[in-house]
């Protein structure tokens, strides 16, 4: 029977694959495919065997057939994207990797491969975002830490690069390439710390004469001066109220950061990583991000106004 013949060939092919006998497995899989040409599993295994035999065009062809026959198989898109990267078909690689991650956003290897492609295209910020996503999904992906560290080093973000190299070394101790990268990052960080910082002109030094600048002293309370409730009572009440208002605004500011700004940034990053989403969805992400930032800026102005009020009331207390 044809079914028995197919089962027998398929079993022999699987045994060859388990023994990593790729040359023996491929003709068996092709023979089985001649019997059942619409089998996504046969195409998937043929793609894998072709990849092991370094036959990238055939590997790409069979993974593409898997996506045609089984369009919801995320792994096929992600593997196809990795092969397109090796074939220098970078735009195609990004497209299919994004599709795979839309189907299964928990594929760390998908984000990792996306980082590789973005790096080759010179889009370093996008690559950094992709590697961070890979690490978020799989905190033990050592190569993602290492590649992330290299990108941060390229951007002269030495502190962040040092952290990423150390995380890679925790997973793979005594890794020479990570140790060398860590040395470069620490050297860059040390050089930045030793570099003299230019003096910043304050409003007082930029507009006041030397005599005024020298004779002016910061306001301070006289420790022997008693607070008179009749004189300072109103000021104290206003100062107390301004302090409470400042504390409330500070709490609200943190709440907006956690509940609106951070989710909006994450949502916008996702939309940018997967631009295949409808334009209206990306527009909505941008609008929510802008609304969140506007709310944060409004609260920031209110908080600054409270702080200025507290400073002004404090100066009045000193003067009286």
Indicate the pLDDT class of residue 89, thresholds 50, 70 and 90. Answer: very high
Asked whether the beta carbons of 126 and 151 are under 8 A apart, the reply is no
Burial class (CB in 10 A: 0-12, 13-18, 19+), 65: buried
The stretches of the chain forming alpha helices (DSSP H) are: 2-18, 22-35, 40-52, 56-69, 74-86, 90-103, 108-120, 124-137, 142-154, 158-171, 176-194, 203-207, 210-215, 229-256, 262-273, 279-319
Lowest mean pLDDT among 20-24, 113-117, 279-283: 279-283
For residue 260, what are the contacts with CB-CB under 8 A and spacing of at least 6? 291, 292, 295, 296
pLDDT of amino acid 176: 96
Residue range 277-303: mean pLDDT, rounded:
70
Burial class (CB in 10 A: 0-12, 13-18, 19+), 78: buried
Rg (CA), the chain: 31
pLDDT of amino acid 309: 73
Residue range 291-309: mean pLDDT, rounded:
73
Asked whether the beta carbons of 310 and 239 are under 8 A apart, the reply is yes
Rounded CA-CA distance 250/299 in Å is 8
Domain 140-193 has CATH 1.25.40: yes
pLDDT of amino acid 298: 72
pLDDT of amino acid 180: 97
- Check pLDDT > 60 for residue 10: yes
Q: What are the structural domain ranges in the chain?
A: 140-193, 223-319
Asked whether the beta carbons of 127 and 153 are under 8 A apart, the reply is no
Rounded CA-CA distance 101/115 in Å is 13
- Check pLDDT > 60 for residue 225: no
Q: Which two tokens stand for residue 271?
A: 């939309």
Indicate the pLDDT class of residue 127, thresholds 50, 70 and 90. Answer: very high
């Amino acid at each position: 029977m044809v079914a028995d013949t197919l089962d027998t060939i398929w079993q022999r092919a699987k045994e060859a694959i388990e023994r990593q006998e790729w040359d023996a497995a491929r003709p068996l899989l092709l023979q089985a495919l001649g019997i059942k040409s619409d089998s996504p599993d046969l195409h998937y295994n043929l793609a894998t065997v072709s990849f092991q035999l370094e036959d990238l065009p055939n590997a790409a062809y069979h993974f593409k057939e898997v996506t045609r026959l089984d369009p919801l198989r995320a792994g096929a898109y992600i593997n196809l994207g990795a092969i397109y990267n090796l074939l220098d078909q970078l735009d195609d690689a990004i497209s299919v990797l994004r599709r795979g991650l839309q189907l299964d956003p928990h594929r760390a290897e998908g984000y990792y491969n996306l980082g590789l492609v973005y790096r080759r295209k010179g889009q370093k910020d996008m690559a950094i975002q992709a590697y961070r996503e890979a690490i978020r999904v799989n905190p033990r992906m050592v190569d993602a830490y290492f590649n992330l560290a290299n990108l941060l080093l390229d951007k002269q973000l030495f502190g962040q690069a040092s952290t990423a190299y150390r995380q890679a070394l925790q997973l793979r101790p005594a890794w020479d390439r990570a140790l060398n990268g860590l040395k470069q990052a620490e050297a860059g960080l040390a050089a930045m710390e030793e570099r003299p910082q230019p003096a910043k002109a304050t409003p007082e030094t930029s507009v006041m004469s030397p005599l005024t600048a020298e004779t002016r002293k910061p306001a301070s309370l006289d420790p022997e001066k008693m607070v008179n409730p009749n004189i300072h009572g109103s000021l104290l009440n206003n100062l107390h109220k301004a302090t409470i208002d400042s504390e409330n605004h500070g709490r609200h500011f943190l709440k907006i950061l956690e509940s609106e700004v951070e989710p909006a940034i994450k949502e916008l990053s996702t939309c940018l990583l997967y631009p295949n989403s409808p334009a209206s969805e990306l527009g909505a992400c941008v609008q929510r991000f802008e609304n969140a930032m506007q709310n944060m800026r409004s609260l920031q102005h209110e908080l600054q106004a409270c702080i200025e009020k507290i400073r002004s009331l404090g100066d009045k207390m000193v003067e009286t």
